[in-house]
Structure 1
């Protein structure tokens, strides 16, 4: 990664993000926003025009991509949030306490909270919102809430979560999409409408939305921390094309944009400010071990040894990031030093494994992707050297969510790790039996036990790092997921926009000013 991580308490609370996919149609939203008065602070004003990505859904319960959390955090708030270091800190709640055995956690809410539709955000509303996330038959966050047995609201300011087992990750877990609080009035009256008309209690409200094109947001004066929001307006655009992003920034189409490593030099030459923000995103290949040829574990191992990750990093990232063999980066509490070079580039070993698998003359497979250029082509060339003959299948980005994340109907897909807000949650997404990035839908019993142990270990316990690293080591040796390299967040901006806070987890914009 591009910056050191300093404290173990911070490391224990890091989360992971992935890439989102766009949607298509045009909708107009009625502007809404009411609630508590704005507290004293700096004057608001200005507009950020962010070239980034539009969400798969504005409903956090059905959002299917980790990257969505950046957009959703603009319109929703949770009981907690993650600070710049990744620590869970108070948000809608002023704090929380655990019972001595870790099976109950109690949150105290701020007073005077409201949703952007004007309805009260009290303990009863929090209970309804979280119960929807864990109870809806199609919920994509339900697997992360399995340790919650019951939610109670004994009074308007108190939310009590009773757990099926000790789980000290709950404040981290609720800081992301899983814990975003949605207006009960909105989902009781028109749940489907939330996909394009979010109703939350975040720093902004969505006023208009053209799917696959643009989202326009307005400052929410009822946000609990409104004094920290200096912008009046916020606009979000789809991920810019690499070949035009610098020109678009110069012209003012965007004033902040995500750029690839290939454009860093051009952006600096154009007089733009460039920030390389450490991110816990990692490029990965999703592999389905129930489909040939990966139903033979030796073929999976051969693939891992056939890949030259150093070459991929240099070409695909222009050197920004690190080679990776595991989901966690160097310096993170879950990083397992014993897996630092687990599958080094070794063509001879890859060929030997293929022969042992019954494929002495090589094997054929399909690489599924949303874009043939770049990584898939480089992988194709590398795999050819060891006798793995590949066909590249390009699927529409708009269909990838259904084909890859829901149906799990492909053998191999080029992906990025859509991580989550606590380490066990990240394990669930990657390796859990219902994990979006576990197309095989199976998990070794010993890995389940290792992840449960991590959840039941307090973050300040000296056993926490040891238990988490042991789970990492077990996962990368028993699961087919093939990690490639880390992907930092590279933002270019016009000089009239103030520096973007370097949040490792969710990109936030507190204190940012713009013309």
Structure 2
């Protein structure tokens, strides 16, 4: 089955691992000079993006799914995601499965090179994938658990042998897991990759100051270089919502993410605004192993205690949709039967709490890394349903350790943006070792349903219903409280052409800056 694909998802997580030390800075030597707006080679100017800087420029140790946006500037993966999120050729021009689904062969484009000039051939791909799946500190290794051997059978042929049928591999390898790193670079100084990436993406990083700015130039040896019109690229940390419009007007950025609260101001300032649907969904992570959610009735009561529509109106200024599941409408995994599954019903929530032995309500701590806004609105809603809630604010930098490593919190506000394959998203959210399943519990029938998703070919007519059935089962048996979708809202100067409206990773093919 060649080029089998299903819509995957990116992931936004400020997670485990080896983020750079606070205040550390690294400056890279510029190979061929710094980026220059308006350079004649591409003629597309320099884009200044107010977005986010990666936790690490090494995809194997990057600790946030959100990093995929920045990493995609300097790395290419074996596949990539089209505008709708389906896996399509990238470094690999084609792929095919054997009859059992336990072996997938990727055919590379000929003549590929890394930004350091070394060849990107089948041997390099093997070494890069093996590093990701075997390094003891790798954060992508769990996603490659079904891969038992990677073999370079020719200069441009790579074979992945699997422990079981898994048709999600092409989707999985479209993200950080499939980004190919130069073996010459990690063989010489692997630690340096955290600040000095060596890949084969559309741009090359020329200088980097942590928490301040990354400067990149166009990579003429990129496999799809003809589609990249920008000559330079600069990435900055997420702008302050209160100053982002002024920063765009001043030229500090010419593209930036803005909250819904700033859309009107951006338009009034003469900026162009694009609202791009994304896979991001706001969620409450529930630890079903901790009181009071070790009682299923209390966990179910929480689902009915939240007024999702009011949250969209207030927190998102109307940008987004109510959601009670991890996948948005239009995505193959979205289960229509689960729409509006948990309508706001504080009376029903109180009844469930009474049945659980809490007729006078229950005490609860809501942990968050958001200083204001969402926690207070949730606190007020939960009070109406009998949850007497105390808000505990923890630093964002410590959230992963506290919530997902120590498993010490019962309830946490978060956002989830899926993973590069649907099965991977299920594993993260609902797997027994799932990062966003701090209670480490999952019913056997859900585990079987997820296994069936991986074992079903993506081009099978049965795949949508198999995936949707798993979604429906998950939202009915797991405690995660999904709230609303979060679109990508980008404001840009009038000199910047329209941005591709990719649902998963923001891409920049064809974009120019006047």
TM superposition score category, shorter chain reference:
over 0.9
Paired residue for 1:245? 244
Contact 2:11 2:416 in 1 (8 A): yes
Q: Distance in 1 between matches of 2:41 and 2:156?
A: 29
Return the TM-score normalized by structure 1.
Answer: 0.93
Contact 1:10 1:85 in 2 (8 A): no
Change over 3 Å in CA distance of 1:467–1:478 after alignment to 2:
same
**Shift of the alpha carbon at 1:396?**
1.7
**Shift of the alpha carbon at 1:416?**
0.6
Moved more, 404-413 or 150-159: 404-413
**Shift of the alpha carbon at 1:134?**
1.4
Contact 2:132 2:138 in 1 (8 A): yes
- Give CA deviations for 1:463-487 in whole Å, capped at 9, x if unaligned: 1111111100111111111100001
- Give CA deviations for 1:296-340 in whole Å, capped at 9, x if unaligned: 222111111100000001001111111000011122221112211
Structure 2 residues not aligned, in runs of 5+: 34-39
Contact 1:49 1:234 in 2 (8 A): yes
Q: Distance in 2 between matches of 1:244 and 1:280?
A: 26
Alignment of 1:367-446 (within 5 A): 367-446=366-445
Paired residue for 1:337? 336
Alignment of 1:132-143 (within 5 A): 132-143=131-142
Local SS of the residue matching 1:64: coil
Paired residue for 2:194? 195
**Shift of the alpha carbon at 1:277?**
0.7
Contact 1:289 1:295 in 2 (8 A): yes
Contact 1:231 1:514 in 2 (8 A): yes
Local SS of the residue matching 2:427: helix
Structure 1 residues not aligned, in runs of 5+: 1-8, 35-40
Paired residue for 1:29? 28
Q: Distance in 2 between matches of 1:493 and 1:199?
A: 29
Change over 3 Å in CA distance of 1:507–1:378 after alignment to 2:
same
Change over 3 Å in CA distance of 1:44–1:159 after alignment to 2:
farther
**Shift of the alpha carbon at 1:178?**
1.1
Match for residue 6 of structure 2 among 9, 12, 31: 12
Contact 1:365 1:388 in 2 (8 A): yes
Q: Distance in 2 between matches of 1:145 and 1:318?
A: 39
Matched length: 501
- Give CA deviations for 1:260-318 in whole Å, capped at 9, x if unaligned: 11111111111000011111110001111112221222211111110000000100111
Contact 1:372 1:392 in 2 (8 A): no
Contact 2:122 2:155 in 1 (8 A): yes
Local SS of the residue matching 1:299: helix
Local SS of the residue matching 2:76: coil
**Shift of the alpha carbon at 1:345?**
0.6
Q: Distance in 2 between matches of 1:512 and 1:472?
A: 36
Contact 1:365 1:391 in 2 (8 A): yes
Paired residue for 2:78? 79
Runs of 4+ in 1 over 6 A off after TM superposition: none
Return the TM-score normalized by structure 2.
Answer: 0.94
Cα RMSD after superposing both structures: 1.9
Local SS of the residue matching 2:277: strand
Question: Do structure 1's residue 183 and structure 2's residue 182 form an aligned pair?
Answer: yes
Q: Distance in 2 between matches of 1:63 and 1:405?
A: 16
Q: Distance in 2 between matches of 1:84 and 1:42?
A: 27
Paired residue for 2:511? 512
Paired residue for 1:4? none
**Shift of the alpha carbon at 1:42?**
7.7
Q: Distance in 2 between matches of 1:135 and 1:364?
A: 44
Contact 2:4 2:170 in 1 (8 A): no
Contact 2:104 2:160 in 1 (8 A): yes
Contact 1:42 1:227 in 2 (8 A): no
Q: Distance in 2 between matches of 1:402 and 1:55?
A: 18
**Shift of the alpha carbon at 1:162?**
1.0
Alignment of 1:292-303 (within 5 A): 292-303=291-302
- Give CA deviations for 1:128-148 in whole Å, capped at 9, x if unaligned: 111111122222222211221
Q: Distance in 1 between matches of 2:117 and 2:406?
A: 38
Paired residue for 2:94? 95
Contact 1:105 1:160 in 2 (8 A): yes
Paired residue for 1:37? none
**Shift of the alpha carbon at 1:11?**
8.7
Contact 1:84 1:504 in 2 (8 A): yes
Q: Distance in 2 between matches of 1:341 and 1:506?
A: 28
